[in-house]
Structure 1
Amino acid sequence: MSTPATAHPDPVADAQWAAATRGAIAESDAALAARFDDNGDIDRLLAARAQQVDAVLREAWSHCLPQDAALSLFAVGGYGRGELFPQSDIDLLVFGEAGAQADHADALARFFTLLWDAGLPIGHAVRSAEDCTRAALDDVTVLTALLEARMLVADLDAAAHLANAISPALIWPARDYFAAKREEQRARHARFGDTADNLEPNIKEGPGGLRDLHTLRWVALRIIGTWDPDSLMAIGQLGADEFATLERERRVLARLRFGLHLIAGKREERLRFDYQKLLAARLGHVDNADNLAVEQMMQGFYRAAARILRIGDRLLQRFEEQLEGEGEPQPLDELFELRRGYLTARDAQWPRDMDELFALFAAWGGNDAVRGLHSRTARALAEALGRIPAYFEATPELRQRFMRLLRGPQPVATVSRMARLGVLGRWIPAFFQVSGRMQFDLFHVFTVDQHTLAVMKNLASFASGEADERFALAHQVWPRLRKPELLLLAGLFHDIAKGRGGDHSELGAVDAREFCEAHELSEGDTALVAWLVRQHLLMSVTAQKQDIADPEVIHRFATLVADRERLDNLYLLTCADIAGTSPKLWNAWKDRLMADLYTATRLALRRGLENPVAADERSEETRAEARATLTAFGSSDAEVDALFARMPQIGFERSRPDQIAWQAASLRDVAIGAGCVRARPVSGDEGALEVFVHSPDRDGLFAAIVATLDRAGLAIQQARVLDGPHAMVFDSFEVVPADTRHNPHAEDVEQRLSAALSGSLDGIRPTRRTQPRHLRHFRIAAQIGFDAVAGGQAGRTMLSLVCNDRPGLLADVAQVLRQQHLRVHDARIATFGERAEDVFQITDQHDQALDETQQQALREALLACLDGEKQ
């Protein structure tokens, strides 16, 4: 029961009321959570919580304010819409003139204190009409919150007074408000990379999120004066199908947000990894053979966001037309015209057939003046989606029309538009299956469809003719392509079979072949596209996991590639694929790896596969180029001969000439048997260093170097450990900053390593670090394999390790190898999101391959280390 307001409040009674109210709210929230878990209607749940809080607020108001107080209470913002999520703020406006505010200041303070003590997250403002006008004029978000004011303790006169205070005639006329909200939306989208397809998307603020729906509502309220769907449909601003779709997707997002608040127990709007699996289970999703429960849930979100974005763009354009008019038409051809820069079908019955629909994209791609698609034409296109046949059901003429789009101007932009508007998923059903499909890992930061479009966008950049410093050779290779559309098709199909089970490369190659045959490509062209899809990972795996300085590796790779056309296309596809997987994945080191493999393979193909490069030939070429560099800087032939004699022969086979010259120059002032450490920046890769360690060989040296580099904040990408004359080692490391905010200088690295290696190595241990939050949610069963090393390195054992990445992993592994009295001769370090895939060439302390007993002991020690046990 409510207690009447009194001039002398009773603190004890207030505390009892707050405690009782807090308990009642908790009990009610628990009941709502149970209804949610029982698949209760989300709109009723949101309304029920708002109504529950309404009752509490009215009771508290009557408890603190006299009935004749000249003040009114309004719900504003989301609460004003009558929807309240479990952890949402409760925004209030106390509306009244300054005198009334002053008269009841103590009562209002008591009112808000009661609500806070009752556990309600209140956000409030106390304003007069003039205050509301001034605040809304200064900040459009204040106006937006007031647009949705709902009476709690107020009458119609107060509501009208508030409405007048923020009317378009007084502040923020419709045109200005629309421009402000459009700019606000653009800035908000930009904060999230202009895509909803992020690994941890924001349900409320991100592109296609609930805030985009709210924006449509606010703009309609300001421009037209209503968000009532019947009224909007009556004046042609909203289609019944559009409204139904928006409502359906709103409920999808609302249910996700409600559940997220329940699981997080706080006001959380991001679908963070911490909550994704829990939320998927709470929503009833179940893992199946091809699709994890969390991936099913996230695909539902991404598809809902895409539809909201698509329809929202159309509605905002209609609101703009309401303000600006359509403008004079500018004919383009017999089918299309421009209206205020928007591409518009001239025929009200467009499209009369699917050829006209494809003609739309041809006209769009061929005219740079097009701002976008006119809302009326966009709606006609949406209504025609159901009539678009899958390519295998289409006429030969329509298939050729599609191929002409790929061969025409801006083919990648055209494909991206077709994907965004839902056309591509109809034409290629397999593409629809991967639309919005996420992979629950940290390697793939985009959904499959968005990754595919990013890959094709990278391919388009290669065709631009403008050099890009990120890609050393791409812009030189692209002009040599015989038919660029074949590479675009390979990019379109390379991941199209993700999520079906089985090898997506093999399954995708089958899809690509069927598509090419249906579109009447020649057998040679079809075979090229299918081969590229099947082998799209070949170059990346070869470059990152094998020693591409080894002529045998190059010969094997060249044999698989077989000809120059395949090599050109595969190189471009590989660069575009890696760079399109994650913005952080492509760097100068990977660019150099791919360029070196491409160049070496091109040479091997030019020589002929029957004439592989011999190791001694490679060695002599490297010697000659390194000698030329050293003599150019003043070294005599005799000095060069003396320096080369101190270096391992295999280094001339496996290193670049500039590396040999740099290392040799480092030995000039170093006595035989003495060590040195040198570091230099890697060209084109900010923060990356090449580190050279020349030192007397001793057990534990590799582990000590790795631990020191780790302590210096450097992550190792590649390591080569060579044994030289006089019991000296020649260790080379490619390192990058583990934290891009911290770029150690080459001189600092030289000093730290020199100091660490000058004394005993026994005290150098890896640093223990806390595992980052995002890595804790991805568990990979460790895989440890042993193989004999073939070729010139026979007598060594190849250790392959696949496991969860974490800070200091390589240092810990090196420490285990040291404790097992093993020597490291080569290492290739690859990280794919949360997944580390490292390869080492190792021997025992007598430089012999490991026997089965040694392999088993190493396996057990590594597993214990990876499980966190002390070594």
Structure 2
Amino acid sequence: MPVAPIVLPPLPRLPAAVPRSGVSSDARRALRQLLGDVDRALATAFRDGADASALARRRSESVQRIVAHVWSACLGEVSGAALFAVGGFGRGLLFPYSDVDLLALVGPSDPARLRALEQCFATLWDIGLKVGHAVRDLPQCRALAANDASVFTSLLDARRLVGDPALEESITAITTDPALWPPAAYLAVRLAERDARHARYNDTAYNLEPNLKDGPGGLRTLDALRWLGRRLAHADDFDDMVGEGLLDPAEKNTLEQAEATLRHYRFALHLEAGRAEERLLFDYQRALATRLGFEDEHEKNLGVEQFMQGYYRAASQVERLGVQIAERFEEMLEPPSAAQAVGEDFIRYGKRLAVRDPDLFMRRPAALVEAFIVRLGEQGIVGFTADTMRRIHQATAALERSLADDADVLAAFLRLLRLGAPAVEALWRMNRHGLLAAILPAFGTVFGRMQYDLFHVYTVDEHTLRVLRNVARFADPAAAAEFPIACEIWPTLAQPELLLLAALFHDIAKGRGGDHSVLGEEEALAFGRRLGLPEADTQLVAWLVRWHLLMSTTAQRQDITDPDVVQRFAETVDTSERLDLLYLLTIADIIGTSPKLWNGWKDRLLADLYTATRYALGSEDELPPDAAARVRACREQALTLLEGEGFTADACMRVWRGFPESSFLRHHPEQIAWQTAAVLQAKGATPLVAVHPQSIRGTTELFVYVPDRDGLFAAVTAMLDRLHLSVMEARILSSPTGMALDTFLLLESDTQQPASAERAEELKQRLHRALSQPGHVHQPSRRSMSRHLKHFQAAPKIAFSTVGGRTRLALVCSDRPGLLAAVAQAMTDAGVRVHDARIATFGERVEDFFLITDRHDAPLDIAQQDRLLQALLERLGTAKRA
């Protein structure tokens, strides 16, 4: 953040005011001009490096003079009435477009005075101030404060601007009355308000477009700490809270530095938006980063990422300390408890843990980790005492450079990890106290590290901790319904600590400029050896870090029904132990990246790949059967299912004469049985459109059986786009009898869930009507791009290769409405046939893979590839070969 001498504009000189005469039009113009001059001067001072807090105070002082001037002009010097600033204005801070919140305290209703107040507020609006005001008498003020904690809180900030001084004492009498919101009740209501407010922002400070004011760790959190200090401990500010033992000096400095960052960003955001915007929207992030002097280091450490890391670090520090200070307030209000010994080094006071020896952590640093282990083993413990928390912070800060290499500390850390799933909660708490980053310095470097995209919705540190929590869920039998294979694997793990370590390190090298998997592997190797793990265990953790993306990319980008794909994956994995750990890590990683990423389709994909790979890793006599054997096995299982539904073997065989052999290689027996039943029930009628709302693949399955023709894929995808259904996978097959057997796996675009029965029927009817018009050209629908996507558009990258007698097209591009339908239409324009499609979307990034041929089912030559590239250019915009 730039540092420069504070050069503040002078306070405004006001035009002469005639009491009770109101404000003339000339005076209003002068005040409007004056206010504009103040704001322009403040903006210039900010650009020149002046402190945002000082500028916000200067704006408050300037506005205060203007407000007092208008009050005097409209009401004059009156007794029994006064005007108070509340909210941020009451605290003496006004950002460039902040509301000016006012409370007019008046005596019994006086029509003339009320008209003068109306004139006063109208004048303030007219000159350009966004005023929020309330007019009350003292009994009303007291009654509202007694019934509404938010009103009571607003009075804590109330500051008299002008009017009867006696009323200031009346406000103070309300806020200091012990009968109104006693400490315990006030703490409870403030914590409930905090929890409700945080829930609106997913209980995390790490939102992609965070709210500087109301989000977790935002400026409201700092205000709330001051309100609690004032009401519960008679501590008006952080200095007073240090005196009361609620903060130590280092924590106070941390809060003040974080507050300075948040205020700096808020001031800049108001100026950039030109209004009272509190959200760091994508619309402003890049411009703000440039305005505040952040520059791109390399493609994996952009200036905007550095800018946002500054926010995330500040907000995280505020959020963490806010939780801990709230615990201290709770402890302060708890009745005294008798001490109970907990081992040699710790004491329990009711629900809180303390150290026997105040110097324990400095004398024996391993006790820092042991404290969290002991806390796990004690029933009913809710936290540490305030004094113990303070000593943890002080020791961590004092010993920070040595903790990562202290053999006893590392031995204690390994003991913690060996507790398995329960260790995850301790790791979260250690992170809140800064201890995790002290033991793992590399973890500290990704504190607040974000990636500027729509795929990674959390910072690296937050994502890592969520991955750990997801891993711990596999130990809970209640999760078996959602994660049956994972919960079956977990009890078989001989060393769950190795999975926890892999989760800790899998993204630890993000932002360094190289391949984070390779760099993370090196970090994991070094730490495993410092930790004293056997070399084989260290190598296993490092392998998991190196290949933590392998399973998800294989499942989503390749055809896992192809034995060669599975065999190559199995050769890389090599052992069942690696496969088990990689499967658990992959699921935890996907869910921890974004709650919206996990769905039934991905669950089924990973389960299928896991099962096939276990089979491939078996003994020599359990190798996967050859293609002919696999076809026979699929036919036999499908026939058993069909006969169970009353179909005869002869009828099924007649249908299967029109199914290509690849149908039985690429589909599950359940899918073959369902498709066959649909054909038999149609009795030769085409087009046949069958929709299974909840297929075994965790998706809605669409089966189209029609006479084959060029452009069919484009027609189907255009209709799916109109119905807002996303294609996860498409398999386009042609029968020996000239029929197309096209299968699409679908999810609802908005929810990423399978379609309802009603939606499935709608799809069936509308697609049937569309395919009944073979000469009709089905153009993709035109929909506007979302605000989010507009900020992440990049030129597509296209690569061609040859696979098994077909051309493989890899398309990497930015997502947008109607993308797949546009690609399909481009292929039709270029005379290309689609045989297979794998569709994967990662936030705003799309990675689609197609197996294609020309209209003679031959691979595309260079000229045909260029024609397709040109067609894609016309549909998608500028593209380039990868």
TM-score, normalised to structure 2, is: 0.94
Kept after mapping to 1: 8 A contact 2:615/2:624: no
Query: Where do residues 714-753 of structure 1 align in structure 2 (5 Å cutoff)?
Result: 714-740=725-751, 743=756, 745-753=759-767
**1:818-871 deviation per Cα after TM superposition (whole angstroms, max 9, x unaligned):** 1111110000000000000000011111111101011112112212322289xx
Query: Could you tell me how far 1:674 is from its partner in structure 2?
Result: 3.3
Letter in structure 2 aligned against 1:151 = R
Query: Where do residues 571-582 of structure 1 align in structure 2 (5 Å cutoff)?
Result: 571-582=583-594
Distance (whole Å) between structure 1 residues aligned to residue 288 and residue 274 of structure 2: 12
Query: Percent identity, aligned pairs only?
Result: 46
Aligned to 1:479: 491
Query: Could you tell me how far 1:17 is from its partner in structure 2?
Result: 2.3
Which stretch of structure 1 is more off in the superposition, 516-525 or 444-453? 516-525
Is the aligned partner of 1:415 residue 2:427? yes
Letter in structure 2 aligned against 1:404 = R
Aligned to 1:436: 448
Aligned to 2:852: 842
Distance (whole Å) between structure 1 residues aligned to residue 171 and residue 403 of structure 2: 60
1:472–1:844 Cα change, 3 Å = farther
Which stretch of structure 1 is more off in the superposition, 309-318 or 420-429? 309-318
Aligned to 1:552: 564
Distance (whole Å) between structure 1 residues aligned to residue 64 and residue 412 of structure 2: 60
For structure 2, the 5+ residue unaligned runs are 1-13
| Structure 2 counterpart of 1:86, from 82, 87, 96 | 96
Is the aligned partner of 1:488 residue 2:500? yes
Is the aligned partner of 1:788 residue 2:802? yes
**1:659-680 deviation per Cα after TM superposition (whole angstroms, max 9, x unaligned):** 0000011111334583311001
Kept after mapping to 2: 8 A contact 1:85/1:261: yes
Aligned to 2:186: 177
Kept after mapping to 2: 8 A contact 1:673/1:726: no
Is the aligned partner of 1:385 residue 2:396? yes
Is the aligned partner of 1:832 residue 2:846? no
Aligned to 1:698: 709
Is the aligned partner of 1:256 residue 2:270? no
Which stretch of structure 1 is more off in the superposition, 345-354 or 558-567? 345-354
Query: Could you tell me how far 1:650 is from its partner in structure 2?
Result: 0.7
Which stretch of structure 1 is more off in the superposition, 612-621 or 587-596? 612-621
Kept after mapping to 2: 8 A contact 1:826/1:841: yes
Query: Could you tell me how far 1:365 is from its partner in structure 2?
Result: 2.1
Is the aligned partner of 1:360 residue 2:371? yes
Distance (whole Å) between structure 1 residues aligned to residue 252 and residue 569 of structure 2: 55
Is the aligned partner of 1:316 residue 2:330? no
Aligned to 2:470: 458
**1:771-822 deviation per Cα after TM superposition (whole angstroms, max 9, x unaligned):** 00001111333110000013xxx2x100010000011100010011111111
Aligned to 1:162: 171
| Structure 2 counterpart of 1:214, from 205, 223, 233 | 223
Distance (whole Å) between structure 2 residues aligned to residue 616 and residue 379 of structure 1: 70
Aligned to 1:118: 127
Is the aligned partner of 1:227 residue 2:247? no
Kept after mapping to 2: 8 A contact 1:89/1:123: yes
SS at match of 1:734: strand
SS at match of 1:557: helix
Aligned to 2:157: 148
Kept after mapping to 2: 8 A contact 1:3/1:62: no
Distance (whole Å) between structure 1 residues aligned to residue 555 and residue 402 of structure 2: 36
Distance (whole Å) between structure 2 residues aligned to residue 91 and residue 469 of structure 1: 52
Distance (whole Å) between structure 1 residues aligned to residue 634 and residue 621 of structure 2: 21
Aligned to 2:676: 664
Is the aligned partner of 1:107 residue 2:119? no
| Structure 1 counterpart of 2:384, from 359, 367, 373 | 373
Query: Where do residues 171-210 of structure 1 align in structure 2 (5 Å cutoff)?
Result: 171-210=180-219
Distance (whole Å) between structure 1 residues aligned to residue 169 and residue 562 of structure 2: 82
**1:609-668 deviation per Cα after TM superposition (whole angstroms, max 9, x unaligned):** 994531112111111110111111222222221122121111001110000000011111
Which stretch of structure 1 is more off in the superposition, 151-160 or 110-119? 151-160
Aligned to 2:792: 778
1:547–1:391 Cα change, 3 Å = farther
Kept after mapping to 1: 8 A contact 2:605/2:697: no
**1:311-341 deviation per Cα after TM superposition (whole angstroms, max 9, x unaligned):** 2233323333333344333332221222231
Query: Could you tell me how far 1:8 is from its partner in structure 2?
Result: 6.4
Kept after mapping to 2: 8 A contact 1:681/1:690: yes
Query: Could you tell me how far 1:394 is from its partner in structure 2?
Result: 2.3
SS at match of 1:52: helix
1:577–1:851 Cα change, 3 Å = same
Kept after mapping to 2: 8 A contact 1:4/1:63: yes
Letter in structure 2 aligned against 1:297 = F
Aligned to 2:9: none
Query: Could you tell me how far 1:124 is from its partner in structure 2?
Result: 0.7
Kept after mapping to 2: 8 A contact 1:388/1:423: no
| Structure 2 counterpart of 1:336, from 324, 340, 346 | 346
Query: Could you tell me how far 1:155 is from its partner in structure 2?
Result: 4.8
SS at match of 1:591: helix
**1:519-564 deviation per Cα after TM superposition (whole angstroms, max 9, x unaligned):** 2222221221111111111111110011111111111111111111
| Structure 1 counterpart of 2:768, from 734, 740, 754 | 754
Query: Could you tell me how far 1:425 is from its partner in structure 2?
Result: 0.7
| Structure 1 counterpart of 2:722, from 703, 711, 716 | 711
| Structure 1 counterpart of 2:777, from 745, 752, 763 | 763
Is the aligned partner of 1:95 residue 2:105? yes
TM-score, normalised to structure 1, is: 0.96
SS at match of 1:784: strand
1:391–1:448 Cα change, 3 Å = farther
Query: Could you tell me how far 1:138 is from its partner in structure 2?
Result: 2.4
Distance (whole Å) between structure 1 residues aligned to residue 397 and residue 322 of structure 2: 20
For structure 1, the 5+ residue unaligned runs are none
Aligned to 1:498: 510
Letter in structure 2 aligned against 1:292 = L
Distance (whole Å) between structure 1 residues aligned to residue 374 and residue 227 of structure 2: 34
Distance (whole Å) between structure 1 residues aligned to residue 357 and residue 335 of structure 2: 19
Is the aligned partner of 1:41 residue 2:51? yes
Aligned residues: 860
Is the aligned partner of 1:243 residue 2:252? yes
Letter in structure 2 aligned against 1:179 = A
Distance (whole Å) between structure 2 residues aligned to residue 840 and residue 268 of structure 1: 44
SS at match of 2:104: strand
Query: Could you tell me how far 1:470 is from its partner in structure 2?
Result: 3.3
Kept after mapping to 2: 8 A contact 1:435/1:448: yes
Which stretch of structure 1 is more off in the superposition, 752-761 or 407-416? 407-416
Letter in structure 1 aligned against 2:180 = I
SS at match of 1:307: helix
Is the aligned partner of 1:677 residue 2:689? yes
Kept after mapping to 2: 8 A contact 1:555/1:601: yes
**1:566-614 deviation per Cα after TM superposition (whole angstroms, max 9, x unaligned):** 1111111111111111000010000000000000111111143994531
Kept after mapping to 1: 8 A contact 2:337/2:350: yes
Letter in structure 2 aligned against 1:26 = G
1:274–1:761 Cα change, 3 Å = farther
Distance (whole Å) between structure 1 residues aligned to residue 291 and residue 336 of structure 2: 48
SS at match of 2:853: strand
Aligned to 1:397: 408
Distance (whole Å) between structure 2 residues aligned to residue 609 and residue 300 of structure 1: 58
Query: Could you tell me how far 1:239 is from its partner in structure 2?
Result: 2.1
Distance (whole Å) between structure 2 residues aligned to residue 104 and residue 512 of structure 1: 73
Letter in structure 2 aligned against 1:191 = R
Letter in structure 2 aligned against 1:89 = D
C-alpha root-mean-square deviation of aligned residues, in Å?
2.0
**1:668-699 deviation per Cα after TM superposition (whole angstroms, max 9, x unaligned):** 1334583311001225899x411000010111
Query: Could you tell me how far 1:152 is from its partner in structure 2?
Result: 0.8
| Structure 2 counterpart of 1:58, from 40, 51, 68 | 68
Query: Could you tell me how far 1:401 is from its partner in structure 2?
Result: 1.7
**1:446-479 deviation per Cα after TM superposition (whole angstroms, max 9, x unaligned):** 1001111111111111122333433341111222
Aligned to 1:586: 598
Aligned to 2:550: 538
